[in-house]
Amino acid sequence: MTSTFRTLTVPLDAETFPGGLPSFLVRDDVLCWTRREAGLVGFGEIARFTATGPERFLEADIWWRHLVLEADIEDAVDCPGTGPVAFGSFAFSKASAHESRLLVPEIVVGLRDGQAWLTQLTFDDGELTEAGARAALDRWLRSGRAAEDNGSADGAVVDGAVDDPAPGAAQAGAAVVRPLPLAAGATLHTGSLSEEDWMAAVAAGVKEIRTGALEKLVLARDIVATVPTGVNAAQVLRELSARYRECWTYGVDGLVGATPEMLIQVEGRTAQARVLAGTLDRRDADGMAGSPLEFAERVLAGSEKQRHEHDIAIQSLTTQLAPFSEAMNAHSEPFILELPNVWHLASDVKAELAEVEGHVPTCLALINALHPTAAVCGTPTTVAGALIRKLEHLDRGPYAGPVGWLDAAGNGEWGIALRGAVIESPQTVRLYAGCGVVDGSVPETELAETWAKFRPMLESLGISS
Ligand SMILES: C=C(O[C@@H]1C=C(C(=O)O)C=C[C@H]1O)C(=O)O
């Protein structure tokens, strides 16, 4: 058996890939965490941790801390995301059969504030060198290109990507997103519940809320897309990152999507979250008086129901974060987050983490306390969680669970896996979407909201909606 876990991080010239990180999204199995041009893209897998059950976050935290404890780290860039990193995705429910996982890639390309880097990670003996790391990246990019040429990573459309890079000079091309070809013959199927049954579940949820048993409940549903020409995950990721620039585009082991909601971002002693609750389909603004944004402000910020739902979500996060924090601030007024498909009522929360015995909590320790938030479960958590199991008839799998990455110092970014899907077979994708239900929620309106939330994935799969 091995040998030490070793990593080498070297600077990369960001100008060699003007399209930013999305231009590295050339393989269906790429590990991805990008927003605008920044983030992390990983290739290969040298280690994996899996767990199920209520202790999945803490078990993963221990595994990772143990792994990096004795790691031999050479890092010429030294910022969050350099050195050893793992990408991860966790099941929403402690009762889920779905395995939560951390994946340690062989190669990572990172970009942050104009600084790019390349990390190679290994358990093998032998020297890690800059030339070796660049050659390994080139191999991954070339294999991606070859797969695209053979049609297996179908129709990938990154113009000019890795055109015979000079030896030792890893580079990708600018990502040019061409109009999406519609997936020929793609079909959509009912998931666990029919639309009628799901609306009945929403009505049952509202009834429970009226008894006073709970204040808010988030109910989700799934649909299944069949794409006979094959699901092209790399293209889906490129589409999402190009169109949903305010979102975090994620790809981890078959889970793909672009989430607007940040569960927790840890950088040194600073933790940040973006809480969303309150949704409006942008198509609802068609034909309305005033500018679309004025319409969104009137309907979202001006609605008592939406504001109430939003306040519940913020309170659930800040209450859970408070014991770990020395100071915390949230915007006093939520703002309107504008996405191509919907508007959301959003609030950013920032906390200064408290040290316990000389350490700030790692992002996985925080996730253990924060998940599930009211934004994806409800309040009170235990009552909402039990009702979700009873009414949804769905194992949410990784949907609405944390997805993101972490480094050896405990820094990381973990979004809530929304607006996403699980690629279940080369031709099959399961999409998930849910809505916050409160007193006064109307089942038909909530159903329409799920369709608006499916739209980013449907469009990037080439299925019009
Ligand atoms: C549950 C989802 O979204 C959540 C529910 C929202 C709402 O009900 O308004 C808004 C954003 C998310 O917190 C989803 O996208 O599936």
Shortest-distance atom of ligand 1 to CA 313: 13
Neighbours of 342 (CB within 10 A): 23
* DSSP H or E segment with residue 23: none
208: three-class secondary structure by DSSP = helix
Q: How far is the CA of 375 from the centre of ligand 1 (A)?
A: 6
Read off the DSSP letter of residue 399. Answer: T
C-beta of 10 in contact with ligand 1 (< 6 A): no
pLDDT(231) > 60: yes
Q: Which of 368, 355, 365, 362 is nearest to 325 (CA)?
A: 355
Read off the DSSP letter of residue 362. Answer: P
396: three-class secondary structure by DSSP = coil
The two structure tokens encoding residue 408: 């050896």
Confidence band, pLDDT 50/70/90 cuts, at residue 172: very low
| Spans of all domains in the chain | 6-460
C-beta of 408 in contact with ligand 1 (< 6 A): no
Q: How far apart are CA 460 and CA 340, in angstroms?
A: 13
- Ligand 1: which of 314, 344, 450, 458 to mutate, most ligand atoms within 8 Å of CB? 344
- The predicted model gives 73-92 an average pLDDT of 97
Q: What is the pTM of this model?
A: 0.93
- The predicted model gives 376-383 an average pLDDT of 96
377: three-class secondary structure by DSSP = coil
Confidence band, pLDDT 50/70/90 cuts, at residue 465: low
Contact 214, 312 (CB under 8 A): no
Q: What pLDDT, in 10s, does the model give residues 8-66?
A: 999 999 888 878 899 899 999 999 999 997 899 999 999 999 999 999 999 999 999 99
C-beta of 205 in contact with ligand 1 (< 6 A): no
Q: Please, what CATH class does the domain formed by 6-460 belong to?
A: alpha beta
- Kindly list the distances between the CA atom of residue 369 and the CA atoms of 211, 218, 311, 321, in Å, as whole numbers in the listed order: 28, 19, 19, 8
Phi-psi region of 113 (alpha: psi -120 to 50; beta: other; left: phi over 0): left
The two structure tokens encoding residue 77: 């860039």
C-beta of 417 in contact with ligand 1 (< 6 A): no
DSSP string, 249-314: EEEETTEEEEES-EEEEEETTEEEEEEEEEEEEGGGGTT-SS-HHHHHIIIIIT-HHHHHHHHHHH
**End-to-end CA distance of the chain, in Å?**
52
- Ligand 1: which of 376, 422, 454 to mutate, most ligand atoms within 8 Å of CB? 376
Q: How far apart are CA 316 and CA 296, in angstroms?
A: 24
C-beta of 81 in contact with ligand 1 (< 6 A): no
Q: How far apart are CA 150 and CA 62, in angstroms?
A: 42
- The predicted model gives 187-214 an average pLDDT of 97
Q: Enter the ipTM.
A: 0.98
369: three-class secondary structure by DSSP = helix
pLDDT(155) > 70: no
